[in-house]
Amino acid sequence: MAQDKNKQVSQITDMDVDFAQWYTDVCTKAELIGYAKTKGMFILRPYGYAIWENIQAYLDRRFKETGHQNVSMPMLIPESLLQKEKDHVEGFAPECAWVTYGGSEKLDERLCIRPTSETLFCDHWADIVHSWRDLPMLYNQWCSVLRWEKTTRPFLRHREFLWQEGHTLHATAQEAIEETERMHRIYAELCEDVLAMPVVMGMKTDKEKFAGAERTYTIECMMHDKKALQNGTSHYFGDGFARAFGISFADKNNQQVTPFETSWGITTRTIGGVIMTHGDNRGLVLPPKVAPVQVIVIPVAQHKEGVIEANEAVMERLSKAGFRVKMDASDNSPGWKFAEYEMKGVPLRLELGPKDMEKGQCVLVRRDSGEKSFVPLEGIEDTVARMLDDIHAGLYAKAKKNLEDNTYPCATLAEVKEKMETRGGFAKTMWCGDVACEVKMKEEAGVSSRCIPFQQEHLGDVCACCGKPAKKMVYWGVAY
RNA sequence: CGGGGUGUGGCGAAGUUUGGUAUCGCGCUUGGUUCGGGUCCAAGAGGCCCCGGGUUCGAAUCCCGGCACUCCGACCA
């Protein structure tokens, strides 16, 4: 068996044996990622980057539809600028990387390589915002940021990672809160409608919220191994940053007032989430809407006359219909190709050989279920479209089941601890709102609060941890 | 950053205990062959044995120091 493996397409570890190793195998063997020479720095290979581009294309369109403009801010932040907001600098200082030399000369002031750009946007706005007519400012930038993480993993934690960071400034708190919630919903829609990942929407507790934020809205997803992944956050800052940076404007009554800020972001980590949500023991399983290749066309008995041409014709038809389609006419055997594209998570495989040509049909095989069907070439565009939709729905339903089956109520800390050890997932409990109980939950049950869901349930009257009157229902879990 | 594991052609490994200058499979190249689930045959190319010191006549192998990957914690998108 071990020897036979070597003859095959690069093998991946069984996910039930070692999920972490399975994950790393998929990232490398499916050619999503390469390791760079500097610890924690990763190369997004073409196939991995293409997934990001598809996510990017969707979000960029949604951002522009909602009135946002893209900008580009500097990569370096002078230390004095970073220092202006106390909570913010405290939150990020431990993971900042600094530039201290320019050429051979030591700099008078060291420069932080941006871990996030709130300070840059605020400083800029302090210059250009003067009147209520200048608001709102609805900015976004696609860039990479740097955080000196101690533990790194492909997609899930890079020292440098790609993301988008939206930053907006509003005349009123109400408007800023609406913006924060609007973007939070867009992230949820990305997850559910595009990535087939069901979400839990809610707010972070004070302990877990972003450094400097008044409120952090979060989207929590459950991975195949039942651990949580935060997938997109949206922050409401109140006027804290604006005050710290001296941003003010003349309102309609000619009063100088302070505006309200938001920021929101999603990163390439999301790709890690996609892998861990849908993947299986054959490798990656990509949701059709972000799959770089949606249909892989594999000619069978391709040396026979007319086979390649017939396959090319189908490929062109599908391509013309707007599908991302590729044909593999290499001299690898069909079986090799089947395994290869399954590992790379291509949603649909189309086989076309001499027998099919006679019958005017082809074979379609779904990556998610392995289901094989013989379909007429006539109307293949519609068949493929329908099947890709079915795959999306199937992936979503499966992930939803995983989320629902592994989310359960607990009445006490002891119960959380016991259930977490035996089954993992999300424990939901009532909570008094005290940070001390969160700390205790972490220490004793090993879980952190994932979020205070919007969809609240009344599970009881008292906090599962301290027994005092409860204020909210909270989801707890082990997070990536 | 604390605790474990690992580092040998592109990939997976053997060799390390008992020092003598590298072996196998896959992949790759070329020519044939085959093609509906990981074809078969033949010939060929490819290695700073993670890096830097040390011991030794001689180091992949022994000693010291780094670095990277990986898992478990703490921190984090």
**Which of A392, A421, A450 is the last residue in one of the domains?**
A392
Listed in sequence order, the residues at least 6 apart from A27 whose beta carbon sits closer than 8 Å to its beta carbon are A33, A48, A154, A155, A272, A275
Q: Please write the tens of the pLDDT for every residue from A93-150.
A: 889 999 998 888 889 999 999 999 999 999 999 999 999 999 999 999 999 999 999 9
Question: ipTM score of the complex?
Answer: 0.91
What sign does the dihedral A430-A432-A438-A443 (CA atoms) show? negative
Residue A6 binned pLDDT confidence (cut-offs 50, 70, 90) = very low
Residue A8 binned pLDDT confidence (cut-offs 50, 70, 90) = low
Give the DSSP letter string of A229-262.
EEEEEEEEEETHHHHHTT--EE-TTS-EE--EEE
**Residue in A330, A92, A329 with CA at minimum distance from that of residue A211:** A92
User: Which whole number is the average pLDDT over A283-287?
Assistant: 97
Listed in sequence order, the residues at least 6 apart from A155 whose beta carbon sits closer than 8 Å to its beta carbon are A27, A32, A33, A42, A268, A269, A271, A272, A275
Which of chain A's residues 271-300 bind strand B, using a 7 Å CB cutoff? Answer: 282, 300
pLDDT of residue A461: 97
Query: Looking at the structure, do residues A249 and A303 belong to the same domain, yes or no?
Result: no
**Is A157 inside any structural domain?**
yes
Whether residue A292 is preceded by a cis peptide bond, meaning omega within 30 degrees of 0, is no
Provide the CA A35 to C1' B56 distance, Å, integer.
Answer: 37
Average pLDDT value for chain A: 94
Give the DSSP letter string of A380-424.
HHHHHHHHHHHHHHHHHHHHHHHHHHTEEE-SSHHHHHHHHHHH-
Provide the CA A420 to C1' B64 distance, Å, integer.
Answer: 45
Residues A324, A289: Cα–Cα separation, whole Å: 10
Residues A404, A197: Cα–Cα separation, whole Å: 13
- The answer, yes or no, to whether residue A435 has pLDDT greater than 50, is yes
What are the two backbone dihedrals, phi and then psi, of residue A460, each rounded to the nearest 5 degrees?
170, -175
Using the CB atom, is residue A214 less than 7 Å from strand B?
Answer: no
- The answer, yes or no, to whether residue A480 has pLDDT greater than 80, is yes
Query: Looking at the structure, do residues A357 and A306 belong to the same domain, yes or no?
Result: yes
pLDDT of residue A316: 97
Provide the CA A334 to C1' B37 distance, Å, integer.
Answer: 7
Distances in whole angstroms, Cα of residue A388 to Cα of each of A82, A98, A197, A362, A409: 47, 47, 16, 16, 35
**Which of A228, A244, A278 is the last residue in one of the domains?**
A278
Provide the CA A6 to C1' B21 distance, Å, integer.
Answer: 29
Residues A37, A43: Cα–Cα separation, whole Å: 10
Query: Looking at the structure, do residues A110 and A35 belong to the same domain, yes or no?
Result: yes
**H or E stretch covering A54:** helix A46-65
- The answer, yes or no, to whether residue A275 has pLDDT greater than 50, is yes
**Whole-model pTM over 0.90:** yes
Query: Looking at the structure, do residues A108 and A172 belong to the same domain, yes or no?
Result: yes
Residues A90, A313: Cα–Cα separation, whole Å: 60
Q: Please write the tens of the pLDDT for every residue from A301-351.
A: 999 999 999 999 999 999 999 999 999 999 899 999 999 999 999 999 999
Q: Please write the tens of the pLDDT for every residue from A27-56.
A: 999 999 998 888 899 999 999 999 999 999
Provide the CA A39 to C1' B52 distance, Å, integer.
Answer: 19
On whether the CB atoms of residues A278 and A213 are closer than 8 A, the answer is: no
Using the CB atom, is residue A94 less than 7 Å from strand B?
Answer: yes
Using the CB atom, is residue A351 less than 7 Å from strand B?
Answer: yes
Using the CB atom, is residue A10 less than 7 Å from strand B?
Answer: yes
Residue A71 binned pLDDT confidence (cut-offs 50, 70, 90) = very high
On whether the CB atoms of residues A427 and A410 are closer than 8 A, the answer is: yes
Residues A345, A427: Cα–Cα separation, whole Å: 31
Which of chain A's residues 51-80 bind strand B, using a 7 Å CB cutoff? Answer: none
Provide the CA A399 to C1' B17 distance, Å, integer.
Answer: 50
Provide the CA A36 to C1' B47 distance, Å, integer.
Answer: 21
User: Which whole number is the average pLDDT over A15-25?
Assistant: 90
**Is A434 inside any structural domain?**
yes
**Is A1 inside any structural domain?**
no
Chain B footprint bases within 7 A of protein beta carbons: 1-2, 11-12, 25-27, 33-40, 67-77
- The answer, yes or no, to whether residue A11 has pLDDT greater than 70, is yes
On whether the CB atoms of residues A346 and A367 are closer than 8 A, the answer is: yes
Residues A214, A149: Cα–Cα separation, whole Å: 25
Using the CB atom, is residue A447 less than 7 Å from strand B?
Answer: no
Q: Name the residue closest to the C1' of B34 by its CA.
A: A333
pLDDT of residue A3: 32
Residues A344, A352: Cα–Cα separation, whole Å: 20
Helix (H, G, I), strand (E, B) or coil at A208: coil
Query: Looking at the structure, do residues A64 and A180 belong to the same domain, yes or no?
Result: yes
Residue A9 binned pLDDT confidence (cut-offs 50, 70, 90) = low
Q: Name the residue closest to the C1' of B24 by its CA.
A: A3
Q: What is the CATH number of the domain that holds A266?
A: 3.30.930.10
Query: Looking at the structure, do residues A195 and A250 belong to the same domain, yes or no?
Result: yes
On whether the CB atoms of residues A154 and A24 are closer than 8 A, the answer is: yes
Query: Looking at the structure, do residues A299 and A323 belong to the same domain, yes or no?
Result: yes
Query: Looking at the structure, do residues A316 and A181 belong to the same domain, yes or no?
Result: no
Domain limits at A100? 7-278
**Is A261 inside any structural domain?**
yes
Query: Looking at the structure, do residues A327 and A179 belong to the same domain, yes or no?
Result: no
Query: Looking at the structure, do residues A270 and A302 belong to the same domain, yes or no?
Result: no
**Is A72 inside any structural domain?**
yes
Percent of chain A with pLDDT over 70: 98
Instruction: Give the count of domains, chain A.
Output: 3
Closest nucleotide C1' to the C-alpha of A265: B77
Q: What is the CATH number of the domain that holds A461?
A: 3.30.110.30
Which of chain A's residues 103-142 bind strand B, using a 7 Å CB cutoff? Answer: none
Provide the CA A169 to C1' B4 distance, Å, integer.
Answer: 49
Q: Please write the tens of the pLDDT for every residue from A77-99.
A: 999 999 998 888 888 888 999 99
Using the CB atom, is residue A148 less than 7 Å from strand B?
Answer: no
**Is A399 inside any structural domain?**
no
Query: Looking at the structure, do residues A205 and A321 belong to the same domain, yes or no?
Result: no
Give the DSSP letter string of A423-462.
H-SEEEEEE-S-HHHHHHHHHHH--EEEEEESS-----SB
For A166, what's the count of Cα atoms within 13 Å in the CB-facing half-sphere? 31
Q: What is the CATH number of the domain that holds A311?
A: 3.40.50.800
Residues A25, A339: Cα–Cα separation, whole Å: 15
Q: Please write the tens of the pLDDT for every residue from A369-396.
A: 999 999 999 999 999 999 999 999 999 9
Single-letter amino acid code for the residue at A70: N
Using the CB atom, is residue A13 less than 7 Å from strand B?
Answer: no
**Is A74 inside any structural domain?**
yes
User: Which whole number is the average pLDDT over A414-421?
Assistant: 92
Where would I find the beta strands (DSSP E) of A147-227? 160-170, 200-203, 215-222
Query: Looking at the structure, do residues A387 and A424 belong to the same domain, yes or no?
Result: no
Using the CB atom, is residue A193 less than 7 Å from strand B?
Answer: no
pLDDT of residue A2: 31
Distances in whole angstroms, Cα of residue A36 to Cα of each of A29, A33, A41, A159: 16, 9, 5, 11
Single-letter amino acid code for the residue at A444: E
Distances in whole angstroms, Cα of residue A470 to Cα of each of A11, A207, A320, A461: 50, 17, 58, 6
Residues A344, A64: Cα–Cα separation, whole Å: 32
Provide the CA A139 to C1' B60 distance, Å, integer.
Answer: 56
pLDDT of residue A10: 66
**Which of A334, A366, A392 is the last residue in one of the domains?**
A392
**Is A287 inside any structural domain?**
no
Using the CB atom, is residue A161 less than 7 Å from strand B?
Answer: yes
pLDDT of residue A5: 38
Which of chain A's residues 234-253 bind strand B, using a 7 Å CB cutoff? Answer: none
